[in-house]
Amino acid sequence: MSEYEQVLSYWSPLKIDLFLQVRGLEAPVGLTRKELVQFAATKIEVPIIKPKITAALLESLVTEELIDYLAIRDYVVLPKGRPLVMIPENRSRGTRDAIVNHALKDYHECYLHETDIEKEEVQVKLGEILTKTRKISKIAPKDLSMTQFTYRPTDIDLILEAFGVNKKKHTIDDPFLLAQESLNVFSGNV
């Protein structure tokens, strides 16, 4: 099993399907889970250029990607008027849910009613967001700023959930490493 297959094997079939969709690909019908993982692993180098925006895609983005997406939609995301890195640990899930809900509201009320040219501009920008290199560190940077984003152990669970990782089904030795590798594989930054 290749290192890519190993990472993909933790993901849900839905996330693997989204991984292929943002690259403009579809999995052949009738594949077993193992075959789907193997197929997706061969498509890592296919570039993400102009992904089709769907509600399912928005719901599956990690928090940092959602914030970047809302920024290109001309929203400013400052939960409780503080940098996101300052959110108390017990508020991370609620904040993520609020951000997802806002992105979905924008999708249904604004994006779907835009012209094809406007939609294409947003798709290109989302492609740039999805290919951006994201770093996960167990140690917060010394000088936190409004533009820096750091993850705590409880936030790592949110990233793993975004990839459909079933922690009851899989034993995960290092959740930080799996989250980092998942972000790298999805973005193609491997």
- List the chain residues with pLDDT less than 70: 78-93, 139-154
- The tens digit of pLDDT for each residue in 101-120 reads 999 999 999 999 999 999 99
Tell me the chain's radius of gyration from C-alpha atoms: 17
Is residue 8 situated within a structural domain? no
What CA–CA distance (Å, rounded) separates 82 from 75?
Answer: 15
Say if CB 48 and CB 23 are below 8 A apart.
Answer: yes
Q: How many domains does the chain have?
A: 1
Is residue 39 situated within a structural domain? no
Residue 144 burial by Cβ neighbours in a 10 Å radius (0-12, 13-18, 19+): middle
Is residue 53 situated within a structural domain? yes
**pLDDT reported for residue 172:** 83
- The tens digit of pLDDT for each residue in 5-17 reads 999 999 999 999 9
Q: How many residues does the chain have?
A: 190
Is residue 62 situated within a structural domain? yes
| Global confidence as pTM | 0.84
Is residue 4 situated within a structural domain? no
| Domain that includes residue 158, residue range | 49-187
CA angle, 53 as apex, 100 and 165 as ends, to 5°?
A: 55
